Amino acid sequence: MNFVARLTSAAMLSAALLGAASASATEITFYYPIAVGGPITKIVDGYAADFHKAHPDITVKPVYTGSYQDSIVKAITAAKAGNAPDVAVLLSTDMFTLIDDDMIEPYDAIATSAADAAWLKSFYPAFMENSQSGGHTWGIPFQRSMIVQYWNKDAFKAAGLDPETPPKTWDEMVAMAKKLTKRDASGTTTQWGLEIPSSGFPYWLFQALTTQNGAILANQDGTKVAYNDPKVIEAAQFFADLSRKDEVMPKGIIDWGTTPKDFFEGKTAMMWTTTGNLTNVRNNAKFAFGVAPMPSKVRGGSPTGGGNIYIFKTSDKAKQAAALEFARFLSTPERAADWGIATGYVATRPDAWETEAMKKYVAEFPAAAVARDQLKDAVAELSTHDNQRVTKALNDALQAVLTGAKEAKPAFDQAQAEADRILAAYKH
């Protein structure tokens, strides 16, 4: 072989090796539901970088997609255009929508080893209720939450209440809220006893009340709802009465986004909100506060909430394998603990609570364990086929009752009829 031929051969070999190296490098797109900027994006970017260090042949490209509502629309639109994300955090309640549109891969179809089977069983059963259907696991719990009570201990003390004792029942909550509601000489309320948000995720906060009153809003298959169950109507009436009859809560719609701010500013002495606000409250409340499980009526409890990790369908097996590896990485006990400490979301598996970092955190901040301990009383978040429309029927009924536009029974009878009409197509 002459010099030129040898040179050509070496160049071809070098190009082939270079091509093989680039072919083995896989980039996956990760949709994450938050607006750009802020501390959460730094954490997610950090996880992507850590994953790349551990898997140099895989690059994760986070795409910040706005609110949960924005994110599901963007994911579906991208998938229909042939440009689906490889992996995404979307609401656990989006599961049926993603299944019906044939957009996601069940984990058990691609995670088939004995270690994978153990991994899929490692999460709290309460979180898996919104992650499994039809014998398959469709989502891995990641940033999962529950509703808890927050109370201002200083306000309790000022009202002559024991600052270490939050309400344990609906009756106690109303009685305490009456003592905590303060009005000035002109009759203007300067401090409300309680705020339960009714915008943003109205059905979710309302589901805490229906759960406590012994009602289950939907069946496991997502094909049937019980919106006009008398226990549901009774819970709606109680919700409305807190402002209209008991006068311990602002009238009309209470904004989801500003409720924590009202709490920080002393405009409300108690609030119901997500455990996902725990770090926010800890950083911003300038007074002693407590976190408690939900009060009970016939039982205690809260729906679970928050997001799952979904893997989208693709013919590119390298991308699919990389997406699965990233889902495993995000859900290790150590990372579940780290995420819970950084954000206030509930670490999704029992062994995360056994890590040194989490044990130290709970010892310093016992409120962090309240939601975990409430998991035994948790129910699945409302989720059905055609979930957005079915949920909208409930939200519309609830808002009509809370604003005084309709009485509870006719409003919820109408919601039931609308949901039945939408779900008829999914009953076999």
What SS3 class is residue 364?
Answer: helix
Per-residue confidence (pLDDT) for residue 343, from 0 to 100: 87
* 192 and 295 within one domain: yes
Per-residue confidence (pLDDT) for residue 24, from 0 to 100: 56
Q: Please, what is the average pLDDT of the chain?
A: 93
Distance separating the N- and C-terminal Cα atoms of the chain: 73
* 369 and 422 within one domain: no
Cβ proximity of 419 and 343 under 8 Å: no
* 348 and 267 within one domain: no
* 387 and 359 within one domain: no
* 419 and 299 within one domain: yes
Task: Using the 3D structure, point to which of 333, 355, 375 is the last residue of a domain.
Answer: 375
* 99 and 57 within one domain: yes
* 321 and 298 within one domain: no
Task: Tell me the CATH number at 409.
Answer: 3.40.190.10
Which helix (H) or strand (E) covers residue 175, if one does? helix 170-180
Per-residue confidence (pLDDT) for residue 344, from 0 to 100: 87
Per-residue confidence (pLDDT) for residue 427, from 0 to 100: 84
Share of the chain above pLDDT 70, in %: 93
**Which residues of the chain register pLDDT less than 70?**
1-24, 36-37
Cα-only R_g, the chain: 24
* 369 and 285 within one domain: no
2: buried, middle or exposed (CB in 10 Å: 19+, 13-18, 0-12)? exposed
**56/51 Cα distance (integer angstroms):** 8
Cβ proximity of 206 and 236 under 8 Å: yes
* 283 and 242 within one domain: yes
Torsion of the alpha carbons at 422, 426, 31 and 315, rounded to the nearest 10: -140
Per-residue confidence (pLDDT) for residue 16, from 0 to 100: 45
* 261 and 295 within one domain: yes
Per-residue confidence (pLDDT) for residue 197, from 0 to 100: 97
**243/106 Cα distance (integer angstroms):** 45
Number of domains in the chain: 2
Structural domain harbouring 104? 3-144+305-375
Each residue's pLDDT tens digit, 313-361: 999 999 999 999 999 999 999 999 999 999 889 999 999 999 999 999 9
Per-residue confidence (pLDDT) for residue 79, from 0 to 100: 97
Beta strand 26-32 with 87-91: parallel, antiparallel or unpaired? parallel
Task: Using the 3D structure, point to which of 344, 359, 375 is the last residue of a domain.
Answer: 375
* 124 and 69 within one domain: yes
Which residues, 6+ apart, have CB-to-CB distance to 11 below 8 Å?
A: none
* 285 and 408 within one domain: yes
Residue 301 to residues 53, 57, 109, 147, 209: CA-CA distances in angstroms?
A: 41, 45, 33, 9, 9
